[in-house]
Amino acid sequence: MKEDVLHLRAPGNWINDPNGFIYYRGKYHLFYQYFPYAPVWGTMHWGHAVSEDLVHWRHLGVALFPTKAYDQNGVFSGSALEKDGRLYLYYSAVRYLETDGENIHTAYQDRYETSQAMVVSGDGFHFDNWKDKKKIIPVIADKEVGDRTHTRDPKVWKEGEYYYMALGSTYEEREGRVLFYRSKDGEEWEYVNQLRDKRFGKILECPDLFRVNGTYVFLGSPMYAKEDGLQYPHHAICGLAKFDEEVCGLHLHEEPGLVDYGRDLYAPQTNIDREGRRVMIAWMRMPKALAREGELVWNGMMCLPRVVDVADGQIYFRVHPEVDRYFGKEIPKERLRGDVLFRLRTSLKEGEGLDIGGYRLWVEDDSLNADRSKVFGSLSGYRLTGSTPKLGGRCELDIFVDGNLIEVFVNGGRYVLSHVVYGLGDKLEGPLEHVYVGG
């Protein structure tokens, strides 16, 4: 099957969240929410890709798909861990109580229920969707514990003697919450605690919790956190946290930041890479599907793998060393014409700016600002601009340009701002110091 470089894309039709991201038996496995029939969201499958280096991805088709009464309408997001040499995949299993007669791939008025399930694979390549699935947490009946419809996206990890699971949920679709379960064997789970928080939007999706340099970091995707009348008011947040394992007590220290200030990025998931770094991958939402010549129409892709770091009490999302290595070849700027994949490194002073094929970046009031309005076609209702918080007088940029996605790492990953674009031109203007191509 075909290969993708740097950004895993839908192998045709629809992709959303990364799932089951893991380094297992010498390979990176990345699964993803996949609707194989059309470039729109629908009955969810887990697509599967593998990589040796987080840069070159080989597509392996569909790993998980509906087979059971409890997952008949979708194998929703989840995560992976290795236990006794085997690969354990945890996911949310969706069953519609009423289907939409005009589109059986969606539920009528959100009438569905969700349980949590798992499937075990002996080698990470074979998945028996009939024999090896198991329901582990039934639909939640007690609304004080969780929501029977919107409780999903199990993130599972091991710490000491126990396995832990974080689940995204809601209280009456008014307030997001994260639920914590614990287990001795990864199969029998017990509910322990939860955190409800205004900062979790109306429904919290895809929670993730892990330690970096001794400090807990929380990632989550609140739905309807900030509404401004534009399409898709859902963004991924990050914050330093305290987690008391004994009682599964979570506390966020400060006002969370955004994982990415372009706000196209959603549903990030992390795991440990070969060298023990904490790596994050997330879905880049695309408002419209694309059909390149000779390819299936596709919608959605993953961002570059980013290393999550904590330094001086701040969270960083840094360029992964494998990506850095891939872009090892520096070329004179004039040689760039027509390339669709390149990297720019430079710094900007207050008032200075760049124009990358119509995509504009500039520093104003100590923030980095971006404007994609000239390279977004005639799509309306979408956010066309973005800006970082204040930068403290320093703006060093490491920019990755790939035909439909620009990712801007600011000050060593202190902030990242990424935008999906359509139709970049050739123009390159501004104080460009270093230009690199990949390969």
CB of 173 to ligand FRU, least distance (A): 14
From 14, 28, 31, 76, residue interacting with ligand FRU (rule: CB under 6 A): 76
CB 17 to ligand FRU: min, Å: 5
C-alpha 249: how far from chain center: 24
Indicate the residue among 289 and 437 with the shorter CB distance to ligand FRU: 289
Under the criterion CB under 6 A, does residue 106 sit at the interface with ligand FRU? no
Among 8, 44, 252, 302, binds ligand FRU (CB under 6 A): 44
Beta pairing partners, 311: 314
Number of residues engaging ligand FRU in binding (CB under 6 A): 13
Amino acid symbol at 132: D
Active-site residue identified among 17, 71, 197, 398: 17
Question: CA-CA distance, 10 to 30, in Å (whole number)?
Answer: 12
Nearer to ligand FRU, 33 or 149 (CB): 33
CB crowding 401-428: b at 16 or more within 10 Å, else e: bbbbbbbbbbbebbbbbbbbbbebeeeb
Tell me the H-state helices in 349-395. none
Question: Segment 326-385, which members bind ligand FRU (CB under 6 A)?
Answer: none
* Cα gap 169→171, rounded to integer Å: 7
Q: What phi and psi values does residue 358 have, to the nearest 5 degrees?
A: 105, -15
Residue 199 has phi, psi (to 5 degrees) of: -75, 0
Tell me the CA distances in angstroms from 398 to 342, 367, 413, one per residue in order: 11, 15, 9
Interacting residues with ligand FRU between 116 and 175 (CB under 6 A): 152-153
Work out which of 4, 17, 197, 407 binds ligand FRU, going by CB under 6 A.
17
Tell which phi-psi region holds residue 408, choosing left (phi > 0), alpha (psi between -120 and 50) or beta: beta
Shortest Å distance, C-beta 94 to ligand FRU:
8
Scan residues 184-243 and list those touching ligand FRU (CB under 6 A).
205-206
Q: Does 267 bind ligand FRU (CB under 6 A)?
A: yes
Nearer to ligand FRU, 165 or 424 (CB): 165
Q: Which is nearer to ligand FRU, 223 or 408 (CB)?
A: 223
- Taking the complex as a whole, the smallest distance from the CB of residue 180 to ligand FRU amounts, in Å, to 17
The tokens of 21 are what? 């991201």
Smallest distance from ligand FRU to CB 266, Å: 6
The nearer residue to ligand FRU, 96 or 316, going by C-beta atoms, is: 96
Q: Is the dihedral of CA 386, 392, 393, 398 positive or negative?
A: negative
Active site residue 244: no
Q: Is 16 in the site for ligand FRU (CB under 6 A)?
A: yes
For ligand FRU, the closer of residues 45 and 360 by Cβ is: 45
For the record, the structure tokens of 126 come out as 């074979």
- Identify the residue among 13, 43, 77, 170 touching ligand FRU (CB under 6 A): 77
CB of 369 to ligand FRU, least distance (A): 27
Query: What's the CA gap between 371 and 375, in Å, rounded?
Result: 9
Task: Give the angle subtended at the CA of 33 by the CAs of 413 and 99, to the nearest 5°.
Answer: 140
Q: Looking at this protein, which amino acid is placed at residue 438?
A: G
Catalytic residues: 17
Contact residues for ligand FRU, defined by CB under 6 A: 16-17, 33, 44, 76-77, 92, 152-153, 205-206, 266-267
